[in-house]
Structure 1
Amino acid sequence: MTPFTVLDGLVAPLDRANVDTDAILPKQFLKSIQRSGFGPYLFDEWRYFDHGKPGQDCSLRPRNPDFVLNQPRYQGASVLLARENFGCGSSREHAPWALEDFGLRALIAPSFADIFHNNCMKNGLLPIVLDANAVDWLFAEVAATPGYRLQIDLAAQLVTTPAGEVIPFTLDPFKKYCLLNGLDDIALALQHKDAIRRYEQERARREPWLFPPARE
């Protein structure tokens, strides 16, 4: 998992509340368990006019020019600004995979669905909860300023605007530690691999019937 430290990113505004995970990545793309390759299908039903299928060449598909991520001024965005209850619906981990594969690293909204919030943190995405008034203000700033960027400092837990306004945010300390160090659940376990190996060896010595020899 890529560590998250400081991000200076272009902001794309998705002015919708209650965006569910089926909108983020529709169900037909859930067959794959690879973490990569989902970016072209992010918000598939909103980005394209046709029905998306796994394995399509999305560069040839008809795009909806009115959808925010298709608009030229938001190309290359790495921060998504959204409304309340972002990521509701089913708990599919594919949703943050698609957001991250598209190039997004941070999400800002007044609230996130709990499971989606946790899935983001485990996949290198930073979901930032800000007061609804602050989010309203950021939407207005983005609309009025082409190329609007935010600097996000995870260690300091601060969002800084182009004009120098600073907005603090809160985050669980353990999740913050994992993001700063690029540690997902597997990487966390591997930090204790020597202790795990010693335990396995000792248990095999004490209870050898649980560890039969491998067959030829």
Structure 2
Amino acid sequence: MQYLKDEVRNCIEEQALKEFKEFGYKGASIRNIAKKANTSVGNIYKYFHSKEDLYESLIGSLYHKLMNYIEQFNKVDINDKAEYIFYGLMEKIIEIFEENSTEIAILFNKSQGSKYDNCKNTFVEFITRIVTETTTYKLSLQGKKLKDNFIIYLLSYSMVESMSMILQEKEDGTEVRKYMLSIIDIFFMHIDEHLNID
């Protein structure tokens, strides 16, 4: 009966999310997931080939969706309209965070040992690059030049760490969104006043 199979699979995934959020990919146990889902380890392996396969089914599509938006940022030409496009794409990313706060919390905070281990660094590099490019463009319009982007890197790193903490502590999507927007403003509002500029 397909209904029962879907119900069992959903229960396994629900318990796996809790297990991964608490113990991370590395510390999560298929045995614990089976126990909490009222099924056997053998039954889990009928649905998922391995712990990695189970993790992938929960986190993979979300990760690829985020990377797709990052890829769209890469295609934007830096000009007068870039900031509006960036805000639109950033809004989409924040929506993903709002709707999938548990999965994103796992991705950012609990992926050690998985193929997504480097996710936070990818985000730091992405934010650093976008802010550096847009700031460099704005300064060029004023006849100024950015000497280096170390402050931007520090802010990007701190922002991603803050995002990780928000996701770890807050489960309500609306609350996650509110905090995300606040820290973006706090970290990057009037950034040019603090940069090393020629």
TM-score normalised to structure 2 length: 0.27
Report which structure shows greater RCO (CA 8 Å, sep ≥6): 1
Name the structure with the higher strand share.
Answer: 1
Name the structure with the higher helix share.
Answer: 2
TM-score normalised to structure 1 length: 0.26
